[in-house]
Amino acid sequence: MLQTQKADMTRILLTGANGQVGAELRQTLGAVGEVIAIDRTQWDLSNPDAIRPVVQAVQPHLIVNAAAYTAVDKAESELELATTINGKAPQVLAEAAEKLDAGLIHISTDYVFDGQQSRPYLDTDATNPLGAYGQSKLMGEEAVRSICRKHLIVRTAWVYGVQGKGNFVKTMLRVGAQRSELRVVTDQIGAPTWARDLALAIAQLAPHLTPETVGTYHYTNSGVCSWYDFAIAIFEEARTLDFPLTVQQVVPISTEEYPTPARRPAFSVLSLQKTAALLGSHPPYWRDSLRKMLAGLRAVETTIASVAK
CATH number of the domain to which 206 belongs: 3.40.50.720
- Burial zone of 263 (CB within 10 Å; 0-12 exposed, 13-18 middle, 19+ buried): middle
Confidence of residue 127 (pLDDT cuts 50, 70, 90): very high
Range with lowest mean pLDDT among 2-6, 110-114, 175-179: 2-6
**The amino acid at 58:** V
222 vs 298: CA distance, rounded Å: 24
- Of 65, 74, 59, nearest to 3 by C-alpha is 59
Query: What is the per-residue pLDDT across 71-126, written as a single tens digit (0 to 9) for each?
Result: 999 999 999 999 999 999 999 999 999 999 999 999 999 999 999 999 999 999 99
- Please check whether residue 3 lies inside any domain of the structure: no
206 vs 286: CA distance, rounded Å: 23
Query: What is the per-residue pLDDT across 225-237, written as a single tens digit (0 to 9) for each?
Result: 999 999 999 999 9
Query: What is the per-residue pLDDT across 267-309, written as a single tens digit (0 to 9) for each?
Result: 999 999 999 999 999 999 999 999 999 999 998 877 776 665 5
Range of the domain at 49: 11-163+193-220+262-284
- Please check whether residue 242 lies inside any domain of the structure: no
Residue 137: what pLDDT? 98
What pTM was estimated for this model as a whole? Answer: 0.93
> For residue 258, is pLDDT > 50?
yes
Q: Number of structural domains, the chain?
A: 1
Strand, helix or coil at 63? strand
With contact defined as beta carbons under 8 Å apart, do 70 and 92 qualify?
no
- Return the bridge partners of 253, or none: 185
**CA distance readout (Å), 80 to 4, 83, 93, 135:** 34, 5, 18, 11
11-15 and 34-37 beta bridge pairing: parallel
Query: What is the per-residue pLDDT across 184-221, written as a single tens digit (0 to 9) for each?
Result: 999 999 999 999 999 999 999 999 898 889 999 999 99
Alpha-helix runs per DSSP H in 33-159? 51-58, 79-83, 89-100, 132-147
Confidence of residue 134 (pLDDT cuts 50, 70, 90): very high
- Please check whether residue 280 lies inside any domain of the structure: yes
The residues annotated with a catalytic role in the active site are 133
- Please check whether residue 248 lies inside any domain of the structure: no
- Please check whether residue 240 lies inside any domain of the structure: no
- Please check whether residue 250 lies inside any domain of the structure: no
With contact defined as beta carbons under 8 Å apart, do 266 and 212 qualify?
no
- Please check whether residue 241 lies inside any domain of the structure: no
List Cβ neighbours of 80 (8 Å cut-off, separation of 6 or more).
none
- Please check whether residue 20 lies inside any domain of the structure: yes
φ, ψ for residue 4, nearest 5 deg? -90, 160
